[in-house]
Chain A
């Protein structure tokens, strides 16, 4: 069956460390993959997109990698801050601007 898997357990890290979140997918061949941030009670907010022909994409403290052989994307936040605490969603493209999302990983950054 087709599915998107993200770390189901919350990720707790200390401020200043690098957070690494994982997104694995099966039975999809996405043209691109996106990462979103969702805060409690609010809609997701887009962070980064990485295309199938890209290995890595960076934006400020964020870095995303995409391995189409492993069917995996890694999302990194360097120099993490308490304000980075949120749930991060991986969205896999399944057709013309359609996405299938994982359950998300909750990140908690402690001061």
Chain B
């Protein structure tokens, strides 16, 4: 079982609200990722980090921002949520100390609905 956690699991909010999706891992992984996935569609990488104080934008443009102040924590923030942000957000991590296959360990996801 992967040691990566996301909260909340489900979130329903109104337009214009600021939200932060939490992601934490206890595996000491240096690399962390955020993906966005709509039902029946592929995962799209929106942000990633190679370590503390490192953040990069992914392949899919996103209005969200991320921070990596601690190795284990990689929160995602939306300053002003809109209905177009409604989606499933998945956090993942990978590292050299575990996972010789470079596999990514995924959290359970946050299902976000913006009304």
Chain A residues close to B by CB (< 8 Å): 4, 32, 34, 41-46, 48-49, 89, 91, 93, 96-104
Contact = CB atoms under 8 A, between A and B. Distances in A.
A49 B42 contact: no
Nearest to B105: A46
B104 A99 contact: yes
For the residues of A in contact with B, the DSSP-based class is strand
Nearest to A6: B42
Contacts of A102: 42
Contacts of A97: 31, 94, 102, 104
A103 B41 CA distance: 5
Nearest to B94: A97
Contacts of A99: 45, 104
A101 B109 contact: no
A47 B59 CA distance: 24
B45 A100 contact: yes
Nearest to A32: B102
Interface string B24-53: 000000010101000011110100101000
